[in-house]
Structure 1
Amino acid sequence: MMTLATTEVEKAALRRLSQLAVNGPLTGTTAWRCFSSPVARYRYDENQPPVVFNANELAALKSLKKLVVDHLEFKARRACAYCKRPVGHYGYGWHIEHVYPKASYPERTFALGNLTIGCTDCNQWKAARVDRGTLTGGLTIIDPVANGFRYGDHINLVHLATEEICFVKYRPTSETGRATYNKLQFADIERSTIIDSVNDDLAALHRRMNDALANVQASDSESELGALLCTLRSRIYRLG
């Protein structure tokens, strides 16, 4: 991310957060929270003094985040790096995605090469089924930011649409592609795409649940609620 910093204040603020994440007292998760939602006094522990930012640093962090978002949207073409569905104002809700989780790899928290775009669905399932084992078992799904990565080497995607129905099918072609399909619940994406296109009531419910999930994922402390929403939505589409 340092390559995107345009001012000395931005570089200094980013360097400070990186050092706090790697050397303590912040974790990768709390350091990222300071970056993504900067406040003048961030209290991460009741028994420790807060992390304080002045007005110039707050402005610098907000400016730098916009640069990061713009860079990732352009690089990913406004699509989720895992399922390739469109995200943003006219697509699904999304988050900046750490391919190697910041909780386990604090040194990669602010590495631009570790960041991409993840829709709320893939983000939640990856956090629940992939991230916790990455430190000991390695990354078990596709690595969309790896050098030379080609999505088609691991997953073939077919997307057909008419005025009346929309059809999406993922066909894994590698071991990591199959793991991605299974662990990130791509079968649910296939079901939901068809059902949403033919059932307006379920489509409206799906949108409301996606909005709720996006709000929940903004708070790391609500991960259990996010997992519950994902499971509930999955069961709805299996019944549908």
Structure 2
Amino acid sequence: MLSRLAPRIAVGRPALAALRAASTSAPAAKPAEAGAIKEGPERDLVNFPRRVRPELPDRVRLGFIPEEWFQAFYKKTGVTGPYMFGTGFLTFLFSKEIYVMEHEFYTAITLFLFGALLVKKVGPGLSEYLDKRIDEYEDGWREYRANQTDGLVAAIEEEKKQQWHAEGQMVLFEAKKENVALQLEAAFRERQMTVYNEVKRRLDYQVDTQNVAQGFQQKHLVGWVVDQVKKSITPQQEQDAIKQCLAELKGLAAKA
């Protein structure tokens, strides 16, 4: 209806104000927005609720009189009270000539009837057109907001992904540190084994050298001792020794 647009432009525009006044539809309930404002914990929403701007105006009677005026009279005067008050008030104005029925009065009646006819004939189509334009405008803003929200959500997810990657990099750094430590340990052990082998080879060389020297000395010492013993034995001693050996052999053979 035009009433969605009329409150914004009714001031200074009698025609649109009349169109707004002709609306008799009840205000529709505003759907809950997805991104509703989050209230703080100290906000008293029970005693001081947040005001909501109505999308449509209140109901009217006779094309321009608000419905709440009639409801206010019903509590005091009943159903006929508002009509009697209006009729009596107009009669008072006319009888006291406070409001004089001159030619402008009839002109106002003509303008009112013309405005009512214009509202009945042109108002619904114009209201539907304007409501459609307003809906397109609101849909554009909703789409823009949804796109911005989706972009921010995607950015948040990407940031979480990057943080997860960063955490993975920390784990990778620790693994690389452990690998480097293992490589250093392996290199250290390899060098220790190299030192051990070199020291062992040198010690083995010294042992072999000493063994060769001792063998050479023992060989020459034994040869020298044998030579000296041979030199000390005379031919007569040698014959006597042979004879003694032969005698002992014969004695052993006889016993056997």
Higher strand share: 1
Higher helix share: 2
What interval of TM-score do these two structures reach, taking the shorter chain for normalisation? under 0.3
Larger Cα-atom Rg: 2
- Structure with the bigger RCO (C-alpha within 8 Å, sep 6+) is 2
